[in-house]
Amino acid sequence: MEKPLVSVIMPNWNGEKFIIDSIQSVLNQTYQNFELLIIDDCSSDSSPKMIQELEKTDSRIRYFSTSHNVGPAGARNLGIQNSKGEYIAFLDGDDLWLDDKLEKQITFMSQNHYDFTYTEYKTIAEDGTPTGKTITGPSMITRRKMLRYCYLGCLTVIYKKSIFPNLEIPTDLRSRNDYAMWIQLSQKANCYLLKTPLALYRIREGSTSHSGLVKLIKSQYKMWRYSGYGKIRAMYHVLCNMFFGTLKKVVYKKKN
């Protein structure tokens, strides 16, 4: 029986420094039945040309470009809309997968009949040097737990497209848009952890996920408001996120 097709969604914006390594980490997968949808969001560097050259060498690469800058949410929406796979996976253009990531995770999902999963991941510095830290999370994330905190690393998530075929993220969300996705998906399925590190997350100076506390609170609040919550409820969830985020650093961050 042919293995199910996995659609890998990769947004790109001025990613010439790391994008080829990220693409190569997908092409190197032991699980070969995938399509890689790369969505360029009006880059001004050489990355679009680099991607298009690589597209010519592998038919599984599908290149798209936006007509105007839509941010990572809009890029991911475009990827999801054009995906053909039974499963959807995500990888940003500066992060990496280990070679057996798809093989192990799809097997994990198939054997246990899971529709929504994530894995542990290791962190690396901007130059690729290992930090010696592994990020993990709860074995099962229910809807209630998902509302408490975003335990998932976007680069590790795979979900079955059939549980939410028309998933769409508000394009005004320039940050925390991945969390908005998980909140929607948690309406349909619990999320299960494959307890082994299968990806490498690059910590970059000035990245959105490592911005200041005030910016983080504002982006969290905006995300909850776009997710349909009133002002008081949105602020309540922001405070919950801050508390459980602090707890995550103690409980779910390990030294290698």
- All domains in the chain, ordered by first residue: 6-255 (3.90.550.10)
88 exposed, middle or buried (CB, 10 Å; 0-12, 13-18, 19+)?
Answer: buried
Q: What DSSP string runs through 13-40?
A: SS-TTTHHHHHHHHHT-S---EEEEEEE
Cβ atoms < 10 Å from Cβ of 89: 25
- Give the model's pLDDT for residue 206: 60
Percent of the chain with pLDDT over 70: 96
Reading the block at residue 47, the tokens are 């990355």
Model pLDDT for residues 229-253, shown as the tens digit of each residue: 899 888 888 888 888 888 777 778 8
Helix H or strand E segment including 55: helix 47-55
Reading the block at residue 199, the tokens are 């990806």
CA distance 189 to 192: 9
Place of tokens 């209630």: 144
Bridge partners (DSSP) of residue 173 are none
Cα 152–21–176 angle (5° rounding)?
Answer: 30
CA distance 178 to 154: 7
- Give the model's pLDDT for residue 124: 97
Reading the block at residue 160, the tokens are 């079955």
- Give the model's pLDDT for residue 233: 87
- Give the model's pLDDT for residue 226: 77
Contact 150, 178 (CB under 8 A): yes
Q: What DSSP string runs through 56-111?
A: TT-TTEEEEE-SS--HHHHHHHHHHHT---SEEEE--TT-EE-TTHHHHHHHHHHH
Provide the pLDDT confidence category of residue 198 given band limits of 50, 70 and 90.
Answer: very high
* pLDDT at residue 225 is higher than 90: no
